[in-house]
Structure 1
């Protein structure tokens, strides 16, 4: 069995078991750019016991400035026979190997050490670093010490060595300060290296003490559910490593105020291990939609989405509805709000003379008077018998094409209308029409991508995993019915057969657009192979997606005075057609 060295983050190493090397440097100046190290001092400690010390002067290549000599007491004569940094640095790196570096104002010392490593050609080890200044600023109040200098903290904590700007003396004083600070954070529930590294006074004691909730999490991908004392879900999320991700909620790396509030209410975390990232994302969506956790902001109310429906009747009209039904009607959407849906409907009415009355008309409609739209030439008057079902069917076909097929005709007409408004300097109306165009193409493009997959009874696809084997999904009516991972080197077909036999039964009416989008993005990623398809999966080559691809980049920069180029070379002026992706 091969043993793998886990990281500190995985192990949660107790502070008593961590080897610290407390280091202090004396230098010729305040920056490694133009200054050099003149003395190393380091103390190795573990569990409060000193394991060893490292001290040496270092000969710089330039003279020590007089004011530095006054500060440190290190003269040019003292370092004349000292070894150079090329000799000393490898010795220090060997002394500190495998430990956690500690320094007072660690950024200063570490910057000089890294510069010396670069100068001498030594790779810089990935040391974990603890800065006692940063900890002291959060743990030592102004009424205890006038500042957070090493001398002030050493006096406060009764350090056995008085710091005097000599490297080893300052390192010894920093050891005592470190131990005093660790004692303070220990009283606040900080007991591991990871907690010490991420300690922040912004994290409440109650929040930090709940970190044990994450200890039972497996190191596996999946979904996690924070629950309150009644077992009700507070928050649902996904992670590639459940244990590592949930631990972050109890440290300073979590900066969202609402998450700190959520953790304060949490009493347990439920892990749901998933075979694949796609399964985790889908499970997250379903759990959020089902439970509507108060601390999740997205995907909580999929039922609030609205759709534009072209009704299935003798004289169809556009209607805004809350759900898709298997009733033979055409749908576009979903829209995030009723306002955007209304904008898309108005865009179609601009150029397609569909009736806008809400009365259900029979084949022999015989109203006494028509509405004003008939007088304006924007409706054929089926309500008064001026338009037969056959004539009206041609109008309906144009609307169906705009929603489900080619957008060429409708978009060309809308652009022409936009040009007229702009030429007449009716810029406010032009801006409104532009926004309606975007609402229409966005929703129609989304519907044209999602509906074919939603209508396919079954689709099996696979993608090779980086570690070997295959990730296989079974999709039924646009929803993830099942997923599996095949062993490395194994024939995937028996596993695919087993997946198909055990996958969920999905009804054609069980539409969840966000889930279908997740699945579709997975299917569209490079390397995905279509194994089997029952039904038809198509995408119109000159549909709303082509128009959106052309208009979307301009949407953020359009002004009301923009004149859009109606060149016949545009995407919507190509011959109509559809690309068949697959058929069973």
Structure 2
């Protein structure tokens, strides 16, 4: 027998003791089993704390419809009994007030909570998201099959010698559930479950090995940051972010983590490293960089953030569009997948007149045989000498001006083409062209916004931290170069000066993003775009070009809505 003393929990880990927790044990009677189609006919609830009854709530409810005979036979509630009862819009707010701040308890809670959530949605009340304990699930975790072959309320009430017999009336069933709850809590108490948090963690199935690994989170602070699970060979298995490192990592060792992939990762983990961050933006950026550096086996995204796709003009006498992995000046992107990049390229070819073929065309005396695209009037056939380099040049210039945000004339030509196709009742072709244009407009808008931020050599921004202080970010060419906070009462500008002086040096590279990773620039831009962010200082104006694709966002919203409507019909 082991005599090892379990580690003592710190005060902030103790949670809410069960003896100090207010539970509202409730039951509903309804006209049927569907919370979408049926209605509530009766509420019954008992509020308890520390084994003492604090109050009761009971009322019939007019469901606004007839009660089926089989339900009348089961509950004894008739149409005559509910005809003078209050309607749900009067009862629901009273029940929500009665249960406010308490842990809800119900036998087969999914049924009762489902009706409550639907009622809140229909009557315009926000669902308060209380903690919920289901005595059916708890009973199945605590009791053996030999002791409790059935977990029906009547069976458990008999097992725990409940003072009230459940009879399919809301208040009586709630009273019986109170006795069942107290009996189950006595059982889990002997297993070391002493708080609400431990109870909620205990109810789902958790292996002993998984539970033992909770010690891996003991040394983590209650701070925002990045955590790294490491395996037997010190390899990084998984990287994540958290606003509270200890609380988040502890969740991996409880039933709240249901993903099989991450349960497997936890089984392999030997330790958890962490990096404390000033605020969530720094945590997200560090997570991205660590995933890129370590390529953890259990992370699915961002392992190769530089493997984006770009659309570029080739360097030849009659340039064409090409897909590449490495960005250079004038490129359109980044796109997360090749398919999206191809769609944008096809739309740009149609919009600008750039040739869609991949034939190498010499500068002098081209004499190739025109392909089918020329017959379809989708190409002016420069390969056959039908178009000179000077005549072809406007198409190349249209691509450059569209990507740079100097002009959206090519988009107007595409929109006009969609109108012509619709008027000719060529709806399938119009839909395909619209979807390609959507990808192009979205890619242009995103790329131009990211490029505008990456063009700024240095930018310092601040956001309120919600407690009277400030969160700061020093951004250089789209990269997070430094991050910090000035807590309430601390003068902010000296903190800004220190952050700027200690910030990472960023040398701009090639391409629209000056060598930065698109995902990181997007994270920074999202943080800067949030309401409440303020600009502290900026080395040069941060602005988007006047002819940028942002002017087409209204069209994009309408196209998105049309696409969703078509999907619904299809």
User: What is the TM-score of this pair, normalised by structure 2?
Assistant: 0.71
> Residue 464 and residue 312 in structure 1: after superposition, are their counterparts in 2 closer, same or farther (change >3 A)?
farther
- Cα deviation for residue 390 of structure 1 reads 4.5
- Give distance in 1, aligned partners of 2:449 and 2:527: 13
- Cα deviation for residue 440 of structure 1 reads 0.9
The question of whether the paired residues in 1 share the 8 Å contact of 2:225 and 2:283 is answered with yes
Instruction: Give the structure 2 partner of residue 10 of structure 1.
Output: 12
Q: CA RMSD in A?
A: 4.6
The question of whether the paired residues in 2 share the 8 Å contact of 1:431 and 1:559 is answered with no
Quick check: 1:365 aligned with 2:364? yes
Deviates more, 1:552-561 or 1:524-533: 552-561
Q: What is the CA deviation profile of residues 234-276 of structure 1, one whole-angstrom value per residue up to 9, with x for unaligned ones?
A: 2222111111111222222223232222222222211211001
SS for the counterpart of 1:540 is: coil
SS for the counterpart of 1:198 is: helix
- Cα deviation for residue 517 of structure 1 reads 0.9
- Give distance in 2, aligned partners of 1:204 and 1:198: 12
Quick check: 1:179 aligned with 2:186? yes
- Cα deviation for residue 410 of structure 1 reads 1.0
- Give distance in 2, aligned partners of 1:487 and 1:61: 51
SS for the counterpart of 1:505 is: coil
The question of whether the paired residues in 1 share the 8 Å contact of 2:22 and 2:47 is answered with no
The question of whether the paired residues in 2 share the 8 Å contact of 1:153 and 1:177 is answered with no
Instruction: Give the structure 1 partner of residue 549 of structure 2.
Output: 544
SS for the counterpart of 1:303 is: coil
- Cα deviation for residue 231 of structure 1 reads 1.9
Instruction: Give the structure 2 partner of residue 425 of structure 1.
Output: 425
- Cα deviation for residue 211 of structure 1 reads 1.5
Instruction: Give the structure 1 partner of residue 265 of structure 2.
Output: 262
SS for the counterpart of 1:342 is: helix
Q: Which has the larger radius of gyration?
A: 1
SS for the counterpart of 1:202 is: coil
User: What is the TM-score of this pair, normalised by structure 1?
Assistant: 0.69
- Give distance in 2, aligned partners of 1:533 and 1:228: 43
- Return the match for 1:303 from 297, 303, 306: 306
Instruction: Give the structure 1 partner of residue 250 of structure 2.
Output: 247
> Residue 231 and residue 459 in structure 1: after superposition, are their counterparts in 2 closer, same or farther (change >3 A)?
same
- Cα deviation for residue 395 of structure 1 reads 2.2
- Give distance in 1, aligned partners of 2:415 and 2:23: 70
Instruction: Give the structure 2 partner of residue 437 of structure 1.
Output: 437
- Give distance in 2, aligned partners of 1:391 and 1:222: 57
- Give distance in 1, aligned partners of 2:268 and 2:53: 48
Instruction: Give the structure 1 partner of residue 197 of structure 2.
Output: 194
Q: What is the CA deviation profile of residues 430-467 of structure 1, one whole-angstrom value per residue up to 9, with x for unaligned ones?
A: 22211211111111111111112112222222233322
- Give distance in 1, aligned partners of 2:426 and 2:565: 9
Deviates more, 1:387-396 or 1:220-229: 387-396
The question of whether the paired residues in 2 share the 8 Å contact of 1:428 and 1:560 is answered with no
> Residue 512 and residue 104 in structure 1: after superposition, are their counterparts in 2 closer, same or farther (change >3 A)?
closer
Structure 1 residues 342-491: aligned runs within 5 Å: 342-358=342-358, 364-369=363-368, 371-372=370-371, 373=373, 378-379=378-379, 389-406=389-406, 408-491=408-491
- Give distance in 2, aligned partners of 1:352 and 1:101: 62
Aligned residues: 482
The question of whether the paired residues in 2 share the 8 Å contact of 1:249 and 1:260 is answered with yes
Structure 1 residues 519-530: aligned runs within 5 Å: 519-530=524-535
> Residue 395 and residue 21 in structure 1: after superposition, are their counterparts in 2 closer, same or farther (change >3 A)?
closer
Quick check: 1:135 aligned with 2:134? no
- Cα deviation for residue 155 of structure 1 reads 8.7
The question of whether the paired residues in 2 share the 8 Å contact of 1:474 and 1:499 is answered with yes
- Give distance in 1, aligned partners of 2:424 and 2:22: 77
- Give distance in 1, aligned partners of 2:499 and 2:357: 50
Gaps of 5+ in 2: 1-8, 27-39, 61-97, 114-128, 166-171, 510-514
The question of whether the paired residues in 2 share the 8 Å contact of 1:106 and 1:129 is answered with no
Structure 1 residues 109-124: aligned runs within 5 Å: none
> Residue 296 and residue 36 in structure 1: after superposition, are their counterparts in 2 closer, same or farther (change >3 A)?
closer
- Give distance in 1, aligned partners of 2:443 and 2:43: 62
Q: What is the CA deviation profile of residues 264-302 of structure 1, one whole-angstrom value per residue up to 9, with x for unaligned ones?
A: 222221121100111011111111222222222222232
The question of whether the paired residues in 1 share the 8 Å contact of 2:142 and 2:184 is answered with no
Q: What is the CA deviation profile of residues 144-200 of structure 1, one whole-angstrom value per residue up to 9, with x for unaligned ones?
A: 3333478966997xx8xx5554999998997665433433x44xxx57552223213
- Give distance in 2, aligned partners of 1:390 and 1:472: 51
- Cα deviation for residue 475 of structure 1 reads 0.9
The question of whether the paired residues in 1 share the 8 Å contact of 2:306 and 2:518 is answered with no
- Cα deviation for residue 365 of structure 1 reads 2.9
- Give distance in 2, aligned partners of 1:460 and 1:415: 39
- Cα deviation for residue 416 of structure 1 reads 1.9
SS for the counterpart of 2:562 is: coil
Instruction: Give the structure 1 partner of residue 506 of structure 2.
Output: 506
- Give distance in 1, aligned partners of 2:176 and 2:310: 74
Q: What is the CA deviation profile of residues 461-513 of structure 1, one whole-angstrom value per residue up to 9, with x for unaligned ones?
A: 22333222332211111111111212434443332222122111223233211
- Return the match for 2:147 from 141, 144, 148: 144
SS for the counterpart of 1:538 is: coil
Quick check: 1:323 aligned with 2:326? yes
Instruction: Give the structure 2 partner of residue 575 of structure 1.
Output: none
SS for the counterpart of 2:525 is: helix
Q: What is the CA deviation profile of residues 122-159 of structure 1, one whole-angstrom value per residue up to 9, with x for unaligned ones?
A: xxxx9988666542222223223333478966997xx8
- Cα deviation for residue 307 of structure 1 reads 0.7
- Give distance in 1, aligned partners of 2:54 and 2:565: 72
- Give distance in 2, aligned partners of 1:556 and 1:460: 37
Gaps of 5+ in 1: 1-6, 26-31, 46-52, 63-92, 112-125, 563-584
The question of whether the paired residues in 2 share the 8 Å contact of 1:483 and 1:499 is answered with yes
- Cα deviation for residue 536 of structure 1 reads 4.5
- Give distance in 2, aligned partners of 1:170 and 1:427: 61
SS for the counterpart of 1:365 is: coil
SS for the counterpart of 1:269 is: strand
SS for the counterpart of 1:532 is: strand
